[in-house]
Amino acid sequence: MGELDRSARILVAGSGGLVGSAVVRALRGAGFTDVVGARSAQVDLRDASAAREFVAGVDPVAVVDAAARVGGIAANAARPVEFLHDNLRIQANLLDAAAGAGAGRFLFLGSSCIYPKFAEQPIREDSLLTGPLEATNDAYAVAKIAGIMGVQSYRREYGLPWVSAMPTNLYGPGDNFDLESSHVLPALMRKFHEATVRGDARVTVWGTGTPRREFLHVDDLAAACVHLLDVYDDPSPINVGTGEDVTIAELAALVARTVGFTGEIVYDTSRPDGTPRKVLDVSRITATGWKPRIGLAEGLASTYRWYLDNYVSGEGATA
C-alpha cells in the first residue's frame, strides 16, 4: 500500500471534537499539507445528501471518520435512540460519500465498547461478537459495530483498503467536561476542581471504585491514526491503547492529586459501575511499530492545564 503522500488531501470528519481536532494536529505535525476538517456546524453528516455534497466538494484522497455522538454512562443510558440512530447515519453517510468521491483510504474510529462485557482480558480483536454487550452503552456499541461491518463490506465489494481502529478510553485537550454527558475522567477532573475551589470536605464518585479502565491520551491516538494510514491494510479492526489499566478508585486519587484536592473521596454504590474491567490487547498495533508515549500522570497534568485555560477561564466556567 505504501506511505500516504504528504501532499494528499485528507478529510477529518468531526474535526471540532476531542479526537478529530487531535487528528488534525497530528496530520499537520506529520507533514501533511492539505488537511480539511468537517465540523457539525459545516455539514450535518446525518443528512445523506448533505454528506455526499460536502465530501464530493472536498474530493479527498483519504478520510478519517472521527465524527460521532459520544457520551458517558449517564448520557448513553438516557438517550440510546440518539446514540444508535445518529451514529448509524453518520457512519453510513460518510462511507457512502467517501466511496462516491473516490477516496482511496478510509479510517473508521470505533470504540472499545464494541467488545463483550465479559470478554477475556486483555481484549483481543477476535473477541468481537462473541458475547453480550454492556447494557449501559449497548446502543452506541451496536452502531460502532455496524461501522466496522460497513468498512469490511466496502473492502469485500469494492476492494478498497479501508480500515477500522478501536481506541480505548480517551482523554486530553478538548474533552467534554459536562457532568451530565462526559466520560469518567473529565467528569472527575471537573468535580475535584470545583470541590477544591469551594473548599468541600468530600467528593462523591459514582459506583464502587473497583472497575478497571485503560486510558489513552488523545494525542497518542492521533499519532496512531497517522501511523495506521501509512501501514495498516486489514479487514480486522485494530486495537489502540496502552495495554495497562487502573481502578476507578486509583484514577480518582490521581485526578485529586493533580487538581490539588485533599478531602475525602466517597463512593455512591447505588450508581452503575459499567463493565467490570476493560483493557485492550494492543499486541497487533505494537507489532506494526507504534506505541503510546504519554503517561497517565503526565497526560492528566496537561489536560488539567488545558481545562483551566480553556474551560474554567472561558464560557464553560462554573467556579
Cα end-to-end distance, the chain, whole Å = 51
Q: What single letter denotes the amino acid at residue 127?
A: S
d(CA 143, CA 70): 11
d(CA 106, CA 151): 8
Nearest to 4 by CA among 44, 46, 61, 48: 61
Q: Which of 115, 140, 171, 304 is catalytic?
A: 140
Tell me whether strands 212-213 and 246-247 are parallel, antiparallel or unpaired: antiparallel
Helix (H, G, I), strand (E, B) or coil at 137: helix
Annotated binding site for substrate: 191, 206, 213, 273
**Which residue stretches of the chain are H helix?**
18-29, 48-58, 73-78, 80-100, 138-158, 184-198, 218-231, 248-259, 283-287, 296-307
Helix (H, G, I), strand (E, B) or coil at 115: coil
Annotated binding site for NADP(+): 14-20, 109-112, 144, 167-170, 183
Q: Are 280 and 243 contacting, i.e. CB atoms less than 8 angstroms apart?
A: yes
Annotated binding site: 14-20, 109-112, 144, 167-170, 183, 191, 206, 213, 273
Distances (CA, A) of 86 to 44, 45, 52, 79, 83: 10, 9, 16, 11, 6
* Known active-site residue 115: no
Q: Are 281 and 243 contacting, i.e. CB atoms less than 8 angstroms apart?
A: yes
d(CA 124, CA 143): 20
Q: Are 85 and 43 contacting, i.e. CB atoms less than 8 angstroms apart?
A: no
Phi/psi at 216 (5° precision) = -120, 130
Helix (H, G, I), strand (E, B) or coil at 217: strand
Q: Are 161 and 155 contacting, i.e. CB atoms less than 8 angstroms apart?
A: yes
Catalytic residues: 140
